Structure 1
Amino acid sequence: MNFKQISIALYATYLTNRYGLKLKKVKTSKEIFDLRLEYAHILLNKLNISVKVKNKEKIPKDGQYLLISNHRSIIDPLIIELALENSNINGYWVAKKELYNSFFFGTFTRNAATLLLNRDAVNMTPFFKEIKSIVRMGSSIFIFPEGTRNKEDIPLAPFKEGSRIIALKNRLPILPVYIKSNANEVLKEAIVKRTKNLTVEIEIGDIIDYKDKTPLEENYKKQFLK
């Protein structure tokens, strides 16, 4: 790593932990959602990455949804936050337990309105109960159905069944979004070529009824991977 790359890594670490501490001090979900968006703007601006939204008119103005997205990069949640900023859709992110203990993300993740998913847990009942409680409070749920970042040379990794279960149990319409750009490659380029303006494109799909019996992965592919 050269000096510029080290400096951006240090800045990102500082900013992430600074906002983690700010999030820890706030008391309402609205304050948390606002800080998440502010953080996304600052970090992506620092990286000279802008977000282009295709089919922006398909984003509902308000309501509760299970938002699903493909996942390739650590900046995917920030991209989605920016895509939704002109709507009133706010949600809790489902996050794997490894992020809770991360030096880089731990403080931020624990305080940023996230749901801890322990994939090794034998009993998932507490996880689903927590989701139901959050939905009753009026929030949406945001999740990556692939379960982890897709690092393979394929457009989409297989979906886990949990996303569909969440939608069914909570009667949540499903809002599918697709990050068309490989955000991980864009991030790498942003770090190497800091003066270059880069764009990530995200596409909004049609709402999927939670009662739709078509497998969620199949429905998603029909919308985005024709």
Structure 2
Amino acid sequence: DNGGLEITNITVPGKSIGRLYLYPTAGVDPKSGRRVFITPEGDRTLLMFEKGGWFYEDGIEYAGEFEPVDCGNTLPTWYGGWTNNFKYKGFDLSLFFQFSGGNKIYNGTKASVSDMRYWNNSKDVYKKYWTPERTHAEYPMPIYGDNYSNGSALPISDLVERGDYLRLKNVSLGYTFNTKNWSKAVGISALRLYVQAQNLFVITGYSGMDPETLTNVESATLSGGTDKNTLPQARTYTIGVNLTF
């Protein structure tokens, strides 16, 4: 079940679970501003949405069918983490980093915010769509109703990105007071104040909101690595007190 979204993941015997199978594309044609789709025979075709089909660069219509191809593994091939603890007098600092990589992510959110059926396109589209003066563009020429060129109706390989990242998962800074000379009338034998932050920052080449993404479809186990309007992990801050009486 793909939850009503375009199918991006397929599990086949002998390969890792939920690999990305997408329609092969090759960016935007600088002359026409059309999305370039690659046929199973390896030929370049241009999507002419207003004409209802794909055409070779010489203008002849392509009569065949496109087939999705294996575009990579969605499961990390390497991952880990480490903790650093520092102490100086009454201060203590703890840092926990985690990292992961070797996997691919389908940036379906990028398709959502460049869909020519709606008016909610991102500023990035406005700045980088094809024009006769801006021929080396990231997004094709806008055509109202076109939901193929952006990867909505057909998931395209142009939206595949590396999922490598390094995240500061948790950082904690505290101060422990020396209570040895405190009056017994106070009744406190130990006191520590601390501040803590989670998901403070992430270093990644992924252009989406969070490389540690979870798919928002029902069968997430078989459809990982598909970022389709998925919310990032929350950044949280905590202030606390440890008291011992």
Could you say whether these structures have the same fold, taking a TM-score greater than 0.5 normalized by the shorter chain as the test?
Answer: no
Give the TM-score normalised by structure 2. 0.19
Give the TM-score normalised by structure 1. 0.20
> Rg bigger for which structure?
2
By relative contact order (CA 8 Å, sep 6+), the higher-ranking structure is 1
Which structure shows the higher strand fraction? 2
Which structure shows the higher helix fraction? 1
